[in-house]
Amino acid sequence: MDQHNVQDTNPVENDHDVPSSTENDERDDPGAYPVPFRIPGKIVPGCRLDSIPDALRYWARGAERNTSPWYEDFLEADDRYETFLSERRAPGDYIVTFGKHKGKKLRELPVSYRYWAILPDRSSSGWYKSFVAENSRYEEHIMPKEEPGNFLFPCGEHKGTPLKDVDQNEVWRYLHPRHAHCHWYKALSDANRRYLDQYFSERSPGSVEIWFGQRYWGLRLDQAYQRRGFIAFCLDPRKEIARYYHRFRDLVHRYRARLQEYRAQSHPRRRRRAPLVENPCGEAIGPWDEDRGSADEDEEYEDDGFVCADDEFSDEDDQDDDDEVDQGSGYSSMAVDDSALQSADELAEDESSLCETDHPDAVDLEDVDDDTPLDVVERRLNAL
């Protein structure tokens, strides 16, 4: 708790009066936890946790008391009690225990004050954890009911003006990262994000006209997007300090998301199925087919006679096959006298003898080499 809220308590701790906790009672009623410290005139050790004011509970939770021997046990018990209260309290009914709005309900606070209270630099205060939790519950409760465009601008010359009535260039001027430390920044950022989500759900971000530069001033974003050099130039991180940068980057991201959504709807990707081949044929068989089949190492394949080894074939099998073909063709086999046939060697000898000649002018063609002129070769051939 802030000092101005506890200055009249003048707490005096009495460590030796710390009672033992009654865990059995606390399971059903977290408020039955016995308070382990003393504040003269306000708290006596052993009184129920739900009997002391919230302001004193938050004072005891302060980080400056983390060296007390009862601190960790009290912190755990108070967390259970806060959860117990939160489950039975409507969102927004949380009572503020600090500052100029002390005693008011959370729903009665200005938005800017709520976001000021949840800044990280307030985390050392005893009320911080419970206030942040209740504020989150309250925002989740009002978010579906509240129009984002009705959010009241929290600062500057537009303070109190609905967000939908403020030019987006002005909004993004306040949303520049250099203002991120301001207490109103997160509230304005969240509200503007929800407002733009709703706004562009009815129209394309590509319809926004370019509001900076000279060449493309007034051109629609979807037209300027086709000039990829222009988009890359404008979104160069070195230009992050420019006033247009963050709004333009948000628009480009929204437009790209819209394009991806449109393409997915227009050309849905379907996984192609492999063709079902009932009886594959004409497939080459090679070494790549010699992998181990479906049989295990200790099993053998059943021999169905469909595939035969090479050594199982013989000339007799070939002759039998030829006989079967002749019989099946419808022609009768003719008896041939083997003595009337000459062997292949005898035919070769006869053929070579025909090529020999005893002509005195015979020309041995083996004497003709590749360098002999063609007319000389022709004369020699004619002389034969």
* pLDDT number for residue 294: 62
* pLDDT number for residue 254: 95
Where is average pLDDT lowest: 11-15, 177-181, 190-194?
A: 11-15
Nearest to 166 by CA among 184, 147, 151: 151
* pLDDT number for residue 121: 81
Nearest to 194 by CA among 164, 161, 154: 164
Q: What is the pLDDT of residues 338-358, one digit of tens each?
A: 444 445 455 445 544 444 444
CA distances from 58 to 126, 228, 241, 332 (A): 4, 56, 42, 118
* pLDDT number for residue 7: 36
Distance, CA of 71 to CA of 36 (rounded, Å): 9
- Which residues are CB-contacts of 53 (< 8 A; sequence separation ≥ 6)? 97
Q: What is the pLDDT of residues 219-229, one digit of tens each?
A: 999 999 988 78
| Angle separating helix axes 128-142 and 71-88, nearest 10 degrees | 20
Q: Quick check: 265 pLDDT over 50?
A: yes
Distance, CA of 257 to CA of 253 (rounded, Å): 6
Q: Which is more confidently placed, 144 or 241?
A: 241
**How confident is the prediction for the chain on average, in pLDDT?**
75
> Which range, 10-14, 152-156, 194-198, 270-274, is most confident?
194-198
Mean pLDDT of the region 116-135: 84
Q: What is the pLDDT of residues 278-299, one digit of tens each?
A: 656 666 666 666 666 666 666 6
Q: What is the pLDDT of residues 294-330, one digit of tens each?
A: 666 666 656 666 666 656 555 555 555 555 444 544 4
Q: What is the pLDDT of residues 136-150, one digit of tens each?
A: 888 888 777 778 888
Q: Which is more confidently placed, 291 or 255?
A: 255
Residues 40-66 as b or e (16 or more Cβ within 10 Å = b) = eeebebeeebbebebbbbbbbbbeebe
- The domains of the chain are located at 1-108, 200-266
* pLDDT number for residue 332: 42
The answer to whether the beta carbons of residues 1 and 97 sit under 8 Å apart is yes
Q: What is the pLDDT of residues 165-181, one digit of tens each?
A: 999 999 999 999 999 88
Q: What is the pLDDT of residues 39-93, one digit of tens each?
A: 887 787 888 888 888 888 888 888 788 888 888 888 888 888 888 888 888 888 8
Distance, CA of 44 to CA of 19 (rounded, Å): 11
Nearest to 92 by CA among 134, 140, 148, 144: 134
Q: What percent of the chain has pLDDT over 70?
A: 64
Q: pLDDT band at residue 373, thresholds of 50, 70 and 90?
A: low
Q: pLDDT band at residue 207, thresholds of 50, 70 and 90?
A: very high
Nearest to 50 by CA among 4, 85, 22: 85
* pLDDT number for residue 16: 42
* pLDDT number for residue 10: 40
CA distances from 362 to 350, 375, 379, 382 (A): 20, 17, 12, 10
